[in-house]
Amino acid sequence: MKSCCILVLSWTSVAALLLCCAGIAAAQETPAPANLAPTRDAQQGAPAALRLTLEDALARARKNSAQFQAALTDAGLARGDKSLARDALLPNVNYNTQYLYTQGNGPGNPVRYIANNAVHEYISQGNVHQILDLTSISNFRRVSAVAAGARAKAEIASRGLVVTVFQRYYAVAAAQQKLQAAEKTANEGDRFFKLTQDLEHGGEVAHSDVIKAELQMQERRRQFLEAQLGLLNARLDLAVLIFPDFNDNYEVADDLHSPVPLPTLGEVQQQAARDNPDVRAALEAVRAASFDVTGSRAGYLPSLALDYWYGIDAIRFATNTDFDGRKLSNLGSSASATLVIPIWNWGATQTRIKQAELRRSQAQRELSFAQRRILAEIKALYSEAETALNELSGLNRSAELAAESLRLITLRYKDGEATVLEVVDAQTTNALASNAYQDGAVRYRVALANLQTLTGVLTTP
């Protein structure tokens, strides 16, 4: 009986020992990475994601961008000011009805106040009023130039918005590519760690190789998490710009690496000279300042006011009245012309002229600066785009070579011809080359968008 009990205890000890060994072996093995790619199980019941092209994003941004809409609002207000200034040059018509009571001196005696015609006076008449002066004409031309400048500034805002949309749109596309590359390198890190464990069990490599591979695996997993965060932030930045309400359920068309030709320098210079909103806005500012000087000088000239009245100005509120047994009409007309000649205003006109001349001189300096700046920006931005395009093919080749180098060095490591440090270095080089290629593609697209701010020609795939 005692031996039987001993036998039972022995089998229990053996089972416990086997479980312990299995636990140790399981602890040494690294589990497969869980959920490296974003899970979509929770999104199966959600509505389909909106697919956005670059043109869609631009249209939505123009509609929902507060800054761009503010520029359009300023242009609309300037257009309204132009309409008001034009209306000020045209005759205006008013109708007024008035009753005047004046204290009299008794029956048959005249009124006490000679400003009125009778004790009871009724006025009901229409008035056509027109003022002719050079100031109003100059003001209309000045406001017209301001309105044209506001339209040019709205175009500047539109082109600046294009650059912002390009940056954020292709930042999302690049972040997607980086996430895919990070997931791939993370899986490669897991496989390499498993490979070192297998080689260690076979006695082919030292345990230090396993430690180095595990460190590399953990680094790749952290980079994958950072890539997920980068994609989330890029998507949120674009969503804030293009949607009126918060919405992150969308996808962008992956055309980051689609070939886009670079126009020649001559074409860029020709387009920029023909339709550059910065220069156009500066030119309109000079025109507005010049008309302001003319309007200020018009303060020395006389102005003519013309008035025409038609209606009732009688002692009874009626179209007809009885006088000595006769029925006479109360309807009549009158007209006046007033010439106002400025004589003395303590130098106010001269002060306004000097102020207007100072503004005109400053506007001319800003125009000259804008013209010089556009010439410099053409060369700088074109060189940036040309450099980005030339580097893009090299970055693509580097990414391909880095991936092939990693594959070959991994094979050599399996055959015992390479060290773990070579494999780790190849993995790092592969990750850096892939990210540099994505960043280079974004740089080229943004450089093309910056050229659009000068030429107004949107270059898309």
Q: In 3-state terms, what secondary structure has residue 121?
A: strand
Q: What was the pLDDT predicted at 267?
A: 87
Per-residue pLDDT of 379-427, as tens digits, reads 999 999 999 999 999 999 999 999 999 999 999 998 888 898 999 999 9
Residue ranges covered by each domain of the chain: 51-90+134-301+351-455, 93-132+302-341
Q: For the chain, what percent of residues have pLDDT higher than 90?
A: 54
Q: Which distant-in-sequence residues (6+ apart) come within 8 Å of 236 by Cβ?
A: 248
Per-residue pLDDT of 97-141, as tens digits, reads 988 877 777 666 666 666 677 777 888 999 999 999 899 999 999
Pair of tokens at residue 94 = 């008013």
The pLDDT confidence band at residue 13, using thresholds 50, 70 and 90, is very low
Position 454 pLDDT exceeds 80:
yes
Of 118, 84, 79, 88, whose CA–CA distance to 102 is shortest? Answer: 118
Are the CB atoms for 217 and 191 separated by under 8 Å? no
The pLDDT confidence band at residue 453, using thresholds 50, 70 and 90, is confident
| CATH fold of 51-90+134-301+351-455 | Outer membrane efflux proteins (OEP) (1.20.1600)
Position 16 pLDDT exceeds 50:
no
The pLDDT confidence band at residue 254, using thresholds 50, 70 and 90, is confident
Q: What was the pLDDT predicted at 112?
A: 65
Per-residue pLDDT of 50-91, as tens digits, reads 888 888 999 999 999 888 999 999 999 999 999 999 998 999
Any long-range contacts for 349-354 (C-beta under 8 Å, 24+ apart)?
349/296, 349/297, 349/299, 349/300, 352/296, 352/299, 353/293, 353/296, 353/297, 353/299
Phi-psi region of 264 (alpha: psi -120 to 50; beta: other; left: phi over 0): beta
Are the CB atoms for 443 and 405 separated by under 8 Å? no
Q: What was the pLDDT predicted at 35?
A: 46
Position 20 pLDDT exceeds 50:
no
Residue 205 DSSP one-character state: S
> How confident is the model over 11-31, as a mean pLDDT?
40
Per-residue pLDDT of 417-426, as tens digits, reads 889 899 999 9
Per-residue pLDDT of 263-286, as tens digits, reads 888 888 888 888 788 998 999 999
Residue 325 DSSP one-character state: T
Position 8 pLDDT exceeds 60:
no
Are the CB atoms for 47 and 251 separated by under 8 Å? no
